Chain A
Amino acid sequence: MTSTTGVLLGRLMRNITRSPDTIITVAITPIMMLLLFVYVFGGAIETGSSSYVNYLLPGILLITIASGVAYTSLRLFNDVKGGLMARFLTMPIKRSAILWAHVLTSLVSNSIAVAVVILAALLMGFRSNAGILEWLAVAGILGLFMLAVTWVAIIPGLTASSMEGATAYSYPLIFLPFVSSAFVPTETMPTAVRIFADNQPVTSIVNSIRVLLYDETVGNDIWVALAWCIAIMVFAYFIAVNVFKRQAR
């Protein structure tokens, strides 16, 4: 690719393939969680689902993405602090390409991490009777979620004054699935927690992926999930672009 975005994307992807630990780190924690929950806690958790790894996988994939986008913040932060951002901004190139290269890099690297986690789940007994259309729909929802949280990740990447600050936001993001239907059905939770769990984005996203993967009855979840993803994406996009415009004059 010779377009500006292509050149910048190529550079960032090269950064990732030369330090593959970033993808491995992103994939390893969710895989450990899968192992822990399936083989240690799984017997004690009643989900009404035939296989706990099946039940768990959608939430684990969201955790994978949430921890993956922290690296997007980090890469952007390093560009700003290291001066490469200033170099790019003073060159006669399309400015939007600078951010989009980071966004596309996030989509590619997170997709790889998600694929690795799904492979690991298959080895642990994950099975789905979803057809190609359902899988495409799952990919679409995961892609939309990636885009949404990536644009969220751009904001601290641009504004943080320290490396820790650039990634701190990702901890609550990773924590959110724990207070959702990702690990246990929300019916088992105390009322206050349950109200929160039922109405936060992760629950609807996890539920709709389950619907698609395991042939469960289709409810409202998919529309709620789409609405959440799009709302977060649009909101974060406008803030990020505004911050960028202000920083880049």
Chain B
Amino acid sequence: MKKIAIGVEGLKKSFKTNRVLVDVDFDVQNGEIFALLGSNGSGKTTIVNILSTLMKPDGGKIEVCSFDVLLQPDQVRQNISLTGQFSAIDGILTGRENLIMIAKLRRISNPAQTADKLLAKFSLADAANRRAEKYSGGMKRRLDIAMSLIGSPAVIFLDEPTTGLDPESRLEVWRTIKELAGGGATILLTTQHLEEAEQLADRIAILHDGKIITTGTLTELKKMFPPAKVEFVEKQPTLEEIFLAIIRKKEEL
């Protein structure tokens, strides 16, 4: 049986006159990795902020684990964790201390053991007792994601998990996220890159001009993409080209 982990219907949000989210609809199934693909400034972080109870929507019916984000924020918080766009770690603390702190806040019975398990799982055991500010970008991001796993939340938000990372760190983080799949948690991740969505997600939604212009699996979406151009090397279409192609297809219908 498939159940809906995140339900968004008619979500609207404006900042003064800036209408960021005009009418956003999408559902995320339980246990699925769902990518929200959109260019910079399209409103991805705004959606994540609203779903994670940081921000109020102007309108719409928004549920996480069947709890209304506006009316039942406490219940929503019991079921989620947020890995924001910038690594939310305490740089003065060691990686291990960061994990123990979160475990204590979540009232896990054996914080130290939980921390050590995660350090091993995320290949951070060697750096466990170094200050987190000394970590590389990829290590910081992995620690950040590890902190979000404590307490086994049902829904995990990953806002642009690889933005700002060098290619090697990006691969590391991708591997980490792939390992999370099948762990039972539902993951909503945002990204500006088709390749990242393609690598990680079961289903992809494309956010453009305040609306979800299309949702589907990669194979479903690829049918709507413009063909790859043959130049000296084959080049994947850019996000902008994809938007245009999809919008044109819709108008033809």
Chains A and B come from one and the same complex:
yes
A residues near B (Cβ < 8 Å) are 2, 4, 7-8, 10-11, 14-15, 18-19, 82-84, 86-93, 248-249
Query: Contact: B54 with A11, CB < 8 Å?
Result: no
Query: Contact: B97 with A14, CB < 8 Å?
Result: yes
Q: A15-B90, A19-B92, A84-B89 are in contact. Are A90 and B104 (CB under 8 A)?
A: no
20 contacts across the A-B interface (CB closer than 8 A): A10-B101, A14-B92, A15-B92, A18-B92, A19-B92, A82-B86, A83-B84, A83-B88, A86-B49, A86-B52, A86-B88, A87-B82, A87-B147, A88-B105, A90-B82, A91-B77, A91-B81, A91-B105, A93-B105, A249-B56
Q: Give the secondary structure class of A's interface.
A: helix
Q: A7-B101, A92-B77 are in contact. Are A87 and B54 (CB under 8 A)?
A: no
Residue of B nearest to A6 (CB): B104
The answer to whether the Cβ of B73 comes within 8 Å of any Cβ in the partner chain is yes
Query: Contact: B55 with A249, CB < 8 Å?
Result: yes
The answer to whether the Cβ of B87 comes within 8 Å of any Cβ in the partner chain is yes
The answer to whether the Cβ of B106 comes within 8 Å of any Cβ in the partner chain is yes
Q: A89-B54, A92-B77 are in contact. List 9 more A-B contacts (CB 8 A).
A: A2-B107, A11-B90, A11-B97, A14-B92, A15-B90, A19-B92, A84-B90, A86-B52, A86-B84
Would you give the shortest CB distance from A76 to chain B, in whole angstroms? 13
Residue of A nearest to B56 (CB): A249
| 8 Å CB contact of A11 from B49, B81, B88, B101 | B101
Would you give the shortest CB distance from A12 to chain B, in whole angstroms? 9
The answer to whether the Cβ of B93 comes within 8 Å of any Cβ in the partner chain is yes
The answer to whether the Cβ of B80 comes within 8 Å of any Cβ in the partner chain is yes
Query: Contact: A86 with B54, CB < 8 Å?
Result: yes
Residues of B within 8 A of A86 (CB): 49, 52, 54, 82, 84, 88
Residues of B within 8 A of A11 (CB): 90, 93, 97, 101
- For residues 63 through 117 of chain B, which have their beta carbon under 8 Å from a beta carbon of chain A? 73-74, 77-78, 80-82, 84-93, 97, 101-102, 104-107
Query: Contact: B80 with A90, CB < 8 Å?
Result: yes
Residues of B within 8 A of A92 (CB): 74, 77-78, 106
Name which of A4, A14, A91, A93 has the most chain B CB atoms within 10 A of its CB. A91
Name which of B56, B78, B89, B90 has the most chain A CB atoms within 10 A of its CB. B90
Query: Contact: A249 with B53, CB < 8 Å?
Result: yes
Would you give the shortest CB distance from B232 to chain A, in whole angstroms? 41
Q: Which 8 residue pairs spanning A and B have beta carbons closest together?
A: A83-B88, A87-B88, A90-B82, A83-B84, A92-B77, A90-B52, A7-B104, A15-B92
